[in-house]
Structure 1
Amino acid sequence: MRIGVISDTHGLFDRAILRHFSGVDHILHAGDIGRGDVLAQLQRIAPVTAVSGNVDGFEASGVPVEQLVELVGHRIAITHRLYEGGRLTKDGMDLLARLRPAVCVYGHTHQPKAEWRDGVLLFNPGSAGPKRFHLPRAVGVLLLGHDSVESRHILLADRAE
């Protein structure tokens, strides 16, 4: 199963996503969706599971702050803030202990990152929104098999198509 992973769109739907997510089976959005029709655009590609972020006002947005989905037998947690200031947050540690996922998708830092921690893949696709700071714009893909999880990042141009 091929999963498109996106975060921190901040209201921007880059048309490059259509190409990079072509043929995905599901899309995970890790928050800071922003205004506009980003989720509707993504839903035209594949089913979407999304969480809200600080830009969305968390609970006030009506989008959950965390989600747990099971795809190909893998439990995948989705949250916006897992890291803050370069460190795993207490809430992040609690979420991992409570949900016991195989993969945790998160956003907020705008930094593409994939790391294994205590047998859990922590995956941040990076930011697909307007370029900020010196960080690259990016999305991610998870490839899920019955006994395997692979991840990769796809860099986007500095400006949206």
Structure 2
Amino acid sequence: MMRQDILFQDRLRIVIGVIADTHVPDRVDALHPELENNLQSEKVDAIIHAGDISSPAVVKQLEHIAPVFAVRGNRDWAFSKALPWSRTIVIGGVRILLIHGQGGLWDYLVDKVWYLLDGYRPERYLRLIERHLKDEQVIVFGHTHRALVLERQGRLFINPGSAAFGIGKDGQPSMGILEIEEGRASARIVNLSKLKANGRSWKKF
């Protein structure tokens, strides 16, 4: 049964930090140095992490800013069964599906082949995610490392991109902000500086 959380029922406006693919420490050794400051400056009420967190320490670190609601990604072996693959969160009366977006093992392998043959096509990931939809109005996902805000068939799809690095040598790391006000949802992408990890430190390209 899919996990469901109900939050902020008595609030007219809620600000949510949306992040994904932090990859600490499997690909980088620390969170992007701007990430926490940005979340704090946006005064987020909660943080949603769409998977590929890699270490439970990341969740604990972010919880110093706001409550964290997360799902497992394909690289989240450390979480075992501590996190669900998907969950529904009801925030301010808006139903949100949170899912990483890689699908099952077969879907993941098939997508790898299609990616090599045809490159990035958001439609492939949207179709995978839509299999899990019920009556959610907002869908938050990750996995692609490509930021996306899209309205599709009356639903709002949000991929915040990777908070560590984007695709390619000069990929743009990013996060998202989801605002819910009087039962309506809107989202925007916030770009982070293009940095690269050098051990536990970061430096500009």
> So what's the TM-score if we normalise by structure 1?
0.88
Paired-residue identity, % = 33
Asked whether the 8 Å contact 2:55–2:78 carries over to 1, the reply is no
Matches within 5 A, 1:79-118: 79-81=99-101, 85=115, 86=121, 87-88=124-125, 91-96=128-133, 98=134, 100-118=135-153
Q: Does 1:55 align with 2:75?
A: yes
What is the number of equivalent residue pairs in this alignment? 159
Partner of 1:15: 33
Cα deviation for residue 82 of structure 1 reads: 6.0
Distance in 1, matches of 2:126 and 2:189, equals 23
Structure of larger gyration radius: 2
**What SS does the corresponding residue of 2:59 show, helix, strand or coil?**
helix
Q: Cα RMSD over matched residues?
A: 2.2
Cα deviation for residue 25 of structure 1 reads: 0.3
Distance in 1, matches of 2:126 and 2:187, equals 23
Cα deviation for residue 129 of structure 1 reads: 1.7
Could you tell me which runs of 5 or more consecutive residues in structure 2 were left unpaired when the two chains were aligned.
1-13, 25-29, 104-110, 116-120, 196-201
> So what's the TM-score if we normalise by structure 2?
0.71
Distance in 2, matches of 1:120 and 1:58, equals 32
Partner of 2:9: none
Distance in 2, matches of 1:64 and 1:82, equals 14
Partner of 1:46: 66
Question: 1:81-139 CA distances to partner (integer Å, 9 max, x unpaired)?
Answer: 1685521365412212x3x2110000000000000111110100000124542431000
Answer with 133-142 or 26-35: which moved more.
133-142
Distance in 2, matches of 1:40 and 1:71, equals 21
Distance in 2, matches of 1:138 and 1:90, equals 23
Distance in 2, matches of 1:18 and 1:48, equals 13
Could you tell me which runs of 5 or more consecutive residues in structure 1 were left unpaired when the two chains were aligned.
none
Distance in 1, matches of 2:125 and 2:68, equals 26
